[in-house]
Amino acid sequence: QYGKRLNATLPNNFKMTASNHHLFSLAHYPDLIGLVFSILDQFSNTGTYFANGHLITATMQNNHFELKGNNLVAKIFCGFCNWIGHIMSDAVGSSGAVQKGNRGSGLPIPGTEIFQLLNFKLPQTDNLTISKLCTRVFEQGYDARHAAATAVPVIINELLTRLLWAFKQYFYHKTPFEQIIKPKNNPELNRMLLCSYGTFAGIDLGDAAIHGVKTGIKTGGNYAEILMESMSRLNITLYPRLALQGYKEVMSWYNNDHYNVEEFDNYLGSEWERLANS
């Protein structure tokens, strides 16, 4: 349906279907880029698609569409409301697919449109590019709903780490509760979070690798299938949080006035000695 509609403007390697058109349509992204292109498309009555390194603009069949509003600001606001409504209606899949009992194609993960720029071939694959690999992963259900689900273990990890740190401060260091809940950049807490997220990432990568090996055994070493299975197992919410925590730790080391490094190392040494002698 989608390929036939845009047949005159699509490149030969651009195949749009009901399972991937949300990924290719820039107006379907729930981020700033999606908002901008949605309003532009509504003003010009076009559709903008981005896939496999190609940016394509196609004229819509309805030539009589016009944004409501008596001035530019009103029309932009109308376009914004249309975008919000469209995003909300597609967040859990198209209504037609849901009525048939199917999961339906949800919204792409915010910021992932950049992967459609990576149109270079992967080694040991049959003309498989990063953009095509991401498209296949999306078609398997790795959409914004799945990303939201991956945030649950990340939130639990964050809360448990902070809770354990608070217990140590209250019961071991005898820190007043009012001081514990006071928002501040605590070096010990930052390192605990970095270690917990680093461990989490190691487990996540190990799980993805195990499933990739299993897929490789089943498919006789099909590298494309191994990559797709491994990527679909990764927790996409975890790694930005780990990167942020790593950045905070690097900045703490760079700006040594935040805490005394030597004093902190001596404290860790005394803690290890206490644990060893207990």
Output the DSSP codes for the chain: -HHHHTTTT--TT----TTTHHHHBGGG-SSHHHHHHHHHHHHHTEEEEEETTEEEEEE-S-TT-----SSHHHHHHHHHHHHHHHHHHHTT--HHHHHTT-----PPPTTGGGGGG---BPTTSSS-BHHHHHHHHHHTT-SHHHHHHHHHHHHHHHHHHHHHHHHIIIIIS---HHHHSS----HHHHHHHHHHHHHHHHHHHHHHHHHHHHHHHHHTS-HHHHHHHHHHHS-TTHHHHHHHHHHHHHHHHHSGGGS-HHHHHHHHHHHHHHHHH-
CB neighbourhood size of 26 (10 A): 25
pLDDT of residue 36: 94
Residue 19 has pLDDT above 50, yes or no: yes
pLDDT of residue 123: 84
What is the Cα–Cα distance from 134 to 231, expressed in whole angstroms? 9
CB neighbourhood size of 213 (10 A): 13
For the chain, which residues make up each domain, given as ranges? 2-107, 139-277
Helices 144-167 and 238-254 cross at an angle (nearest 10°) of: 40
What is the Cα–Cα distance from 89 to 14, expressed in whole angstroms? 26
What is the Cα–Cα distance from 29 to 34, expressed in whole angstroms? 4
Q: Would you place residue 198 in the very low, low, confident or very high pLDDT band (cuts 50, 70, 90)?
A: very high
The more confident residue out of 123 and 203 is 203
Kindly report the backbone phi and psi dihedral angles of residue 223, in degrees, each rounded to the nearest multiple of 5, phi listed first: -65, -35
pLDDT of residue 9: 54
Cα→Cα distances 60→2, 9, 45, 46, 278, Å: 12, 12, 6, 5, 74
Q: What is the pLDDT averaged over residues 85-102? A: 73
Q: Would you place residue 260 in the very low, low, confident or very high pLDDT band (cuts 50, 70, 90)?
A: low
Kindly report the backbone phi and psi dihedral angles of residue 104, in degrees, each rounded to the nearest multiple of 5, phi listed first: 80, 160
Residue 97 has pLDDT above 70, yes or no: no
Residue 258 has pLDDT above 60, yes or no: no
Q: What is the pLDDT averaged over residues 9-24? A: 74
Residue 26 has pLDDT above 80, yes or no: yes
Q: Is 260 left (phi over 0), alpha (psi -120 to 50) or beta?
A: beta
